[in-house]
Amino acid sequence: MSSATEVILLGTSGGPRWRRDRAGVASALVVGDAAYLVDCGYGTGRQMIRAGLGLDRLRGLFVTHLHSDHTIDFFSLLLFGWYEKLEGVERPVVALGPGDRGRVPPASPHLLTPPATICSDSPTPGLAEMTRHLTRAFATDINDRLRDNLRRHPDDLLVARDIALPQDVPFDPDHRPCPRMRPFQIYEDDRVRVSATLVQHAPVAPAFAFRFDTDEGSVVFSGDTGVCENLIELAADADVLVHEVIDEQWVHRQYEGGRTEQQRSMIDHHLTAHTAIPDTGRVAERAGVRILALNHFVPGELESPRWEEAAKEFSGTLVVGQDLDRIPLRRA
């Protein structure tokens, strides 16, 4: 068994868009012969193959929130994984992610007429229910594979569970989507201990950040979030902080300073639910992390020299992430 412990940035693009040169957001933590996946943006399975990660090494899959750019390849890991070593897992992969929001979010104040609600009988499913819906939607394919290709039952390969918040956390999806709270443990095996906390990505809620503690060091994945005290506490003294980033100057240019209601709504979302370049450095500095790895770039092009400006606010090592970058964990 290899003793290497490293973070692999499988895909670094943010937002529900296809990019010519980069895959959607997904990261892996590799601890020896075990792998743990955080988020499943487009191209995740292909990127795992390119990184040399067989799905038979996958133990856990952690979803920060249920926006499509973080989940679009979630179910393909099962459907294609049948043919890419997933059947080699000794026990089902545990997939953990947000539960049901409970109600649709309030309409934007910039919206004059509220939209119709899609799937009003189940408008905000959590990860477990989403998995059941997807299984039903792909029943034709699944039943065929079970009978014609003699594949193992999906329940033997992957089990999806919602993350239950501690009872004392005063979470409300509309009014308190990110109350101050202590990190809490959601998973542990012989390689990692995983903790979670709520972060600020309203109106999508709950939204989580995750911390993985290993014998070789610790890594935190911010998920999508604005500046958030919960994240700073979770990331305290971590070796690596993988943090989303948005170019705030680009936001204003892209949406023409907010000339229309839709443009103003998009500016509001981008600047409150995401973290501007200088703020990523400030967050990492306050948390006292050793390495800040920028990820989930918005916009998705990496040519902008502005990404490097995060280093002005951070005294550690800055990594401007690119697809398939590897960041080793080596505790002194």
pLDDT score of 331: 57
Rounded Cα distance, 19 and 273, in Å: 22
pLDDT score of 3: 57
- The token duo for 308 is 């490097």
Q: Beta strands 217-221 and 240-246: pairing type? A: parallel
pLDDT score of 1: 41
Query: How far from 321 is each of 30, 210, 225, 328, CA to CA, in Å?
Result: 17, 18, 17, 14
Q: What DSSP letter does each residue of 39-107 carry, written as one string?
A: ---TTHHHHHHHTT--GGGEEEEE-S---HHHHTTTTHHHHTGGGTTGGG-SSPEEEEE----SSPPPP
Q: pTM of the full predicted structure? A: 0.96
Which domains are assigned to the chain? 5-109+123-328 (3.60.15.10)
Q: What DSSP letter does each residue of 188-216 carry, written as one string?
A: E-SS-EEEEEE---TTS-S-EEEEEEETT
Q: Give the contacts of 305 (CB within 8 A, at least 6 positions apart).
A: none
Q: Beta strands 158-162 and 217-221: pairing type? A: unpaired
pLDDT score of 229: 98
Rounded Cα distance, 97 and 89, in Å: 20
pLDDT score of 281: 98
Rounded Cα distance, 207 and 254, in Å: 26
Helix (H, G, I), strand (E, B), or coil: what is residue 311? helix
Query: How far from 209 is each of 83, 112, 120, 292, CA to CA, in Å?
Result: 31, 33, 29, 15
Nearest to 36 by CA among 10, 14, 16: 10
Q: Give the contacts of 78 (CB within 8 A, at least 6 positions apart).
A: 86, 154, 157, 158
Tens-of-pLDDT digits for all 332 residues of the chain? 455 899 999 999 999 999 988 999 999 999 999 999 999 999 999 999 999 999 999 999 999 999 999 999 999 999 999 999 999 999 999 999 999 999 999 988 877 888 999 999 999 999 999 999 999 999 999 999 999 999 999 999 999 999 999 999 999 999 999 999 999 999 999 999 999 999 999 999 999 999 999 999 999 999 999 999 999 999 999 999 999 999 999 999 989 888 898 898 889 889 999 999 999 999 999 999 999 999 999 998 767 789 999 999 999 999 999 999 999 997 54
The separation between CA 9 and the C-alpha centre of its own chain, rounded to angstroms, equals 11
Nearest to 200 by CA among 167, 168, 222: 222
